[in-house]
């Protein structure tokens, strides 16, 4: 560990993204081995969950991470907080490469990065009271002052009644339980909070309450969020910049408005058009409906992982098959516009409507 | 929209479950009609009674545990009064259903094709060979590639979207008149959701059947339903055509829902959530069940329960506010939104 390394250059720069990034992820890869045999465990294959991912998160911003189930969003979140060890690549947090730190060296950094999980019930210990749950971070990190007072102040801040200090998680509704999770994440005043689908399990009216709370807390405590969701409406609402993932790769990163108005990657474009719009003008027939399912990350397609489903590739190739470069080589994440990167050989032009894919 | 014959008519349906803590009024006086060729959307948050309504219509609520009253008329028969044998001859034949989790609905140890064939053999006396042929035809119909080879596949070999397609194939085996889909796309990714919604829409038109689509996602309803009913605490609070309901909603709860959803085509500064949480069904607030969360509540709201009334053009709602006040409030809101919008 005597190597002298420096953080990578930021990939994207803009108003909120000036200065040094808080988190810089560089060529991060995670493969989960699949083994065979009982005594001698031979590795027969690997789930390529995250593949050569590079991105940065700047202080005070919210980076949204979207994609379908199984695309590696949650694995990325766990790698960033080092709950998983990467296969290769590095994660820089506040100027230090955390992938090389020991457990002991990691511990003081843990208070700087916290997580909020999807299922607010499964992520709370049913045998601990709210006071114990939110108070645990204070005890672990041996903070000064009276824990009870601090916990009650936190409860009040996240919209819980401080008198409920001695209640158990089952006595709360889903939205309130998520507030407990937020309170616990906030306890040690972290710099980064990784939110893994924090509102997916909640009803819409409650979802809006939690989103507003997260936004208020961000401006009050100068928090930085990595916000993971499969709900494109939610991600647009809360994010400054958005990264789109497909099968372990980041395929596009841009400012929120920019990404929704001018998607460059055909996958982003199809994803956006698949969302029910919630008003009568968006009828079913105008959509790009992708054919087939997401391929298996054990045996991903060669070249661009999206090429077997890509309507644009088929168009470029003249209706049948796909162009050779799509099939043979993974396109690099390159600039397509200012502050807008996409990994595609044939990015979607502004105003171009992707043809509805023919039935396979 | 030309309306076909009435397929299903629910009249003053009540489903109450006595529990140790008190009486859970899951559905409390619900009436609606579903026509042939129509997709009838039921929206509401969890615990609003959407699923219980449909399970009761299908005869799947345990009558020993539930107090059911009212009528569910299907082809002139009151489904609630049918005995188990009679119900079995209707369910799965003229009345079919799809559920949320397609994996939980398929037996993991049987071939998918055989499971669908079993559904055919339940009601038809045909040979196993004939049933197999019909299954393969249906699998192709619902968009499963290589249906012949897929017949022998097991559920774990199917992806989530394909499992849901298989469930739809199973629902279609007897050319049902009415298809009840309970959150059919909730467990699926958006791109697959779009495929399944398109499939349900195509089947509805092709076979000219009625569809009841239960969902918590207003976007889904706005895309595929012709008529929409909004439920809250076991009752309908608003009902009307899709266009009416989304362009000029009447009930403050519907306004609240629309305000609390982040949109993908426009970013708003701040969401306006509905304060508080949905009420417990054991202790539903007196008067209008929504009044403790309603920003517009006034004198009679906490005393009298408003009736579901036609406010013109087949657009019904249950609220004490006058129609003029509602229209004015909605227009004000629209004007404000237009001003704030970019």
pLDDT in tens, B277-333: 888 888 899 999 999 999 998 888 999 999 999 998 889 999 999 999 999 999 988
First to last CA, chain B: 34
pLDDT the model gives residue A169: 92
Per the domain annotation, does B168 fall within a domain?
yes
Q: Which of B149, B173, B197 is the last residue of a domain?
A: B173
Confidence of residue A19 (pLDDT cuts 50, 70, 90): confident
Q: Is A219 on the interface with B (CB under 8 A)?
A: no
Cβ-Cβ contacts under 8 Å for A229 (sequence gap 6 or more): A64, A65, A66, A197, A198, A199, A200, A235
Per the domain annotation, does B43 fall within a domain?
no
pLDDT the model gives residue A126: 93
Q: Please state, in angstroms and as integers, the Cα–Cα distance from residue A136 to each residue in A143, A184, A187, following that order.
A: 11, 8, 9
Using a cut of 0.80, tell me whether the model's pTM lies above it: yes
Q: Is A294 on the interface with B (CB under 8 A)?
A: yes
**In this complex, which of A175, A276, A294 lies closest to B222 when CB atoms are compared?**
A276
**In this complex, which of A68, A205, A294 lies closest to B273 when CB atoms are compared?**
A205
Q: At residue A37, does pLDDT exceed 90?
A: no
CB contact under 8 A, B223 and A271: no
Q: Which of B132, B149, B173 is the last residue of a domain?
A: B173
B122-135: average pLDDT: 89
Q: What whole-number percentage of chain A has pLDDT above 90?
A: 56
The number of distinct structural domains making up chain B is 2
pLDDT the model gives residue A6: 61
Distance CA B313, CA B215 (A): 25
Range of the domain at B333: 253-340
Average pLDDT over chain B reads: 89
pLDDT the model gives residue A296: 86
Distance CA A255, CA A253 (A): 7
Q: Is A256 on the interface with B (CB under 8 A)?
A: yes
B270 versus A242: the higher-pLDDT residue is A242
Per the domain annotation, does B25 fall within a domain?
no
Q: Is B222 on the interface with A (CB under 8 A)?
A: yes
Contacts of A208 in chain B (CB under 8 A): 259-262, 271-274
Per the domain annotation, does B3 fall within a domain?
no
Nearest CA in chain B to A276: B219
CB B94 within 8 A of CB B75: yes
Q: Is A354 on the interface with B (CB under 8 A)?
A: no
* Residue A280 distance to chain B (closest CA, Å): 6
Per the domain annotation, does B307 fall within a domain?
yes
Best B146, B273, B295 member to test A by mutation, with max A CBs in 10 Å, is: B273
- Give the residue among B101, B169, B144 at the shortest CA–CA distance from A292: B144
| Pairs of CB atoms within 8 A across A/B | 134
Q: Which of B173, B196, B218 is the last residue of a domain?
A: B173
pLDDT the model gives residue A2: 43
Confidence of residue B335 (pLDDT cuts 50, 70, 90): confident
Per the domain annotation, does B179 fall within a domain?
no
CB contact under 8 A, B260 and A260: no
Q: At residue A12, does pLDDT exceed 80?
A: no
Per the domain annotation, does B85 fall within a domain?
no
**In this complex, which of B223, B262, B272 lies closest to A234 when CB atoms are compared?**
B262
Contacts of B275 in chain A (CB under 8 A): 209
Confidence of residue A354 (pLDDT cuts 50, 70, 90): low
Distance CA A148, CA B169 (A): 58
With H, G, I as helix, E, B as strand and everything else as coil, classify residue A83: coil
CB burial string A320-333: b at 16+ within 10 A, e below: eebbebbbeebbeb
A322-331: average pLDDT: 89
* Residue B101 distance to chain A (closest CA, Å): 15
With H, G, I as helix, E, B as strand and everything else as coil, classify residue A105: helix
CB contact under 8 A, A276 and B198: no
Q: Is B101 on the interface with A (CB under 8 A)?
A: no
CB contact under 8 A, B277 and A175: yes
* Residue B290 distance to chain A (closest CA, Å): 13
pLDDT in tens, B255-285: 998 888 887 776 667 788 888 888 888 889 9
Confidence of residue A286 (pLDDT cuts 50, 70, 90): low
pLDDT in tens, B72-109: 999 888 998 888 888 888 888 899 999 888 788 899 99
CB contact under 8 A, A284 and B246: no
| B302-310 own/partner pairs: CB under 8 Å, 24+ apart | B308/B31, B308/B235, B308/B236, B308/B237, B308/B239
**In this complex, which of A206, A270, A282 lies closest to B223 when CB atoms are compared?**
A282
CB contact under 8 A, B45 and A204: yes
Contacts of A68 in chain B (CB under 8 A): 189-192
């Amino acid at each position: 560990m005597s190597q002298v390394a420096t953080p990578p250059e930021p990939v994207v720069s803009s108003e909120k993204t000036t200065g040094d990034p808080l988190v810089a992820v560089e060529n991060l890869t995670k493969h989960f081995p699949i083994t065979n045999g009982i005594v001698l465990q031979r590795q027969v294959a690997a789930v390529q969950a995250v593949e050569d991912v590079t991105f940065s998160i700047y202080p005070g911003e919210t980076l949204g991470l979207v994609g379908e189930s199984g695309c590696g969003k949650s694995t990325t979140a766990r790698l960033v907080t080092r709950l998983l060890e990467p296969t290769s690549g590095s994660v820089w947090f506040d100027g230090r490469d955390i992938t090389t730190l020991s457990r002991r060296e990691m511990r003081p950094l843990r208070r700087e990065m916290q997580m909020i999980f999807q299922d607010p019930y499964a992520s709370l210990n049913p045998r601990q009271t709210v006071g114990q749950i939110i108070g645990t971070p204070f005890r672990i990190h041996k903070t000064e002052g009276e824990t009870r007072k601090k916990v009650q102040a936190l409860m009040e801040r996240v919209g819980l009644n401080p008198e409920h200090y001695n209640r158990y998680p089952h006595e709360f509704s889903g939205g309130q339980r998520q507030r407990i999770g937020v309170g616990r994440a906030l306890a040690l005043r972290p710099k980064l909070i990784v939110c893994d689908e924090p509102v997916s399990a909640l009803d819409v009216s409650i979802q809006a309450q939690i989103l507003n709370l997260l936004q208020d807390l961000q401006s009050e405590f100068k928090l930085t969020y990595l916000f993971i969701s499969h709900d494109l409406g939610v991600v647009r609402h809360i994010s400054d910049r958005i990264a789109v993932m497909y099968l372990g790769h980041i395929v596009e990163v841009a400012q929120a408005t920019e990404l929704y108005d001018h998607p460059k990657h055909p996958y982003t474009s199809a994803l956006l058009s698949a969302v029910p719009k919630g008003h009568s003008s968006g009828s079913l027939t105008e959509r790009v409906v992708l054919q087939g399912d997401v391929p298996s990350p054990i045996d991903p397609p060669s070249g661009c992982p999206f090429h077997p489903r890509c309507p644009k590739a088929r168009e470029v190739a003249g209706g049948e098959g796909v162009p050779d470069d799509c099939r043979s080589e993974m396109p690099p994440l390159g600039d397509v516009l200012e502050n807008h990167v996409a990994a595609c050989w044939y990015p979607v032009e502004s105003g171009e409507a992707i043809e509805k894919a023919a039935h396979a | 929209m030309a309306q076909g014959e009435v397929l299903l008519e629910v009249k003053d349906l009540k489903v109450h479950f006595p529990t140790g803590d008190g009486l859970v009024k899951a559905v409390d006086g619900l009436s609606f009609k579903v026509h042939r060729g129509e997709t009838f959307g039921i929206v509401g948050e969890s615990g609003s009674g959407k699923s219980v309504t449909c399970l009761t219509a299908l005869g799947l609520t345990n009558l020993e545990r539930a107090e059911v009253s009212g009528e569910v008329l299907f082809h002139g028969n009151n489904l609630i009064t049918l005995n188990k044998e009679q119900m079995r001859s209707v369910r799965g034949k003229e009345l079919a259903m799809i559920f949320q989790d397609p994996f939980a609905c398929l037996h993991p140890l049987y071939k998918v094709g055989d499971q669908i064939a079993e559904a055919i053999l339940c009601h038809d006396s045909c040979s196993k060979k004939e049933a197999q042929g019909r299954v393969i035809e249906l699998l192709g119909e619902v968009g499963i590639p290589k249906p012949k080879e897929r017949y022998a596949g097991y559920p774990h070999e199917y992806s989530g979207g394909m499992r849901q397609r298989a469930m739809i194939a199973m629902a279609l085996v007897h050319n049902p008149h009415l298809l009840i889909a309970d959150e059919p796309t909730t467990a699926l990714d958006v791109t697959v959701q779009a495929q399944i919604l398109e499939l349900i829409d195509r089947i509805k038109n092709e076979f000219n059947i009625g569809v009841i689509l239960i969902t918590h996602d207003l976007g889904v309803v706005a895309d595929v339903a012709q008529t929409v009913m909004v439920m809250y605490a076991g009752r309908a609070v608003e009902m009307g055509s899709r266009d009416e309901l989304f362009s000029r909603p009447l009930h403050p709860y519907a306004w609240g829902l629309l305000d609390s959803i982040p949109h993908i085509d426009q970013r708003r500064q701040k969401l306006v959530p509905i304060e508080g949480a949905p009420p417990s069904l054991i202790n539903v607030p007196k008067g209008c069940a929504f009044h403790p969360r309603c920003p517009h509540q006034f004198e009679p709201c906490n005393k009298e329960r408003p009736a579901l009334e036609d406010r013109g053009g087949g657009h019904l709602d249950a609220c004490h506010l006058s129609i003029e006040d509602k229209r004015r409030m909605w227009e004000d809101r629209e004007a404000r939104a237009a001003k704030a919008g970019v």
